[in-house]
Chain A
């Protein structure tokens, strides 16, 4: 199947600092990528939909100024957690669709990034 990578896999940062997470589709082009967050023993919750070349669409309750998303190319989307606080500690996962032109069939997920804010 298609491969999606995320970097870093783990990051520990101090409260108030910013952290950037990269999501790459390695063997296909993804016009749409999605960012999810997963708290312990919870399901994945969609944060935002990232479309190449346009502004991301955020879910209700997700602050766009705090979680900056940039989808600069068809293989790379980045999520920056600005002024991170301990409550932002979570498992962040991206996914990318193998279909272009706004269609999504199978979605492939990155391995996730464990963010810990101290």
Chain B
């Protein structure tokens, strides 16, 4: 069955460093891979979407890569700040279908 894994439940880094989160998938060839931020008691907030034919996408301090050979996406937050502390979810889907989510990585940025 389709499976998506985020390699760390928790990641602790210092302010100013780059946070790198990993998402791996198996038994699937997604058309889209998306990253979301979720704060406690809130719905996920869309961050970035990358398509299967794209290698990299950037938005301000965020960067996402998509390697269909490795079946992996990396999510980077550069110059991290305490306000970046949250749970980050990766998810994939095909056009018109629901998202399949990973369990999330909780990032803590200390000052």
Contact = CB atoms under 8 A, between A and B. Distances in A.
Interface residues of B, number: 22
Give the contact-size bracket for chain A.
Answer: 20 to 34
A32 B103 CA distance: 24
A105 B36 CA distance: 13
B28 interface: no
Contacts, number: 62
Interface of chain B: mostly helix, strand, loop or mixed: loop
Contact of A44 (B41, B46, B89, B93): B89
Contact of B44 (A6, A42, A93, A104): A93
Interface of chain A: mostly helix, strand, loop or mixed: strand
Interface stretch (B11-19, B63-71, B76-84, B94-102): B94-102
A112 B41 CA distance: 8
A109 B45 contact: yes
Contact of A43 (B34, B41, B46, B103): B103
Contact of B89 (A6, A43, A49, A111): A43
A17 B97 CA distance: 32
A106 B96 contact: no
A100 B77 CA distance: 31
Given A43-B104, A102-B95, A107 B41 contact: no
A114 interface: yes
Contacts of B34: 106-107
Interface of B: 32, 34, 36, 41-46, 49, 89, 93, 95-104
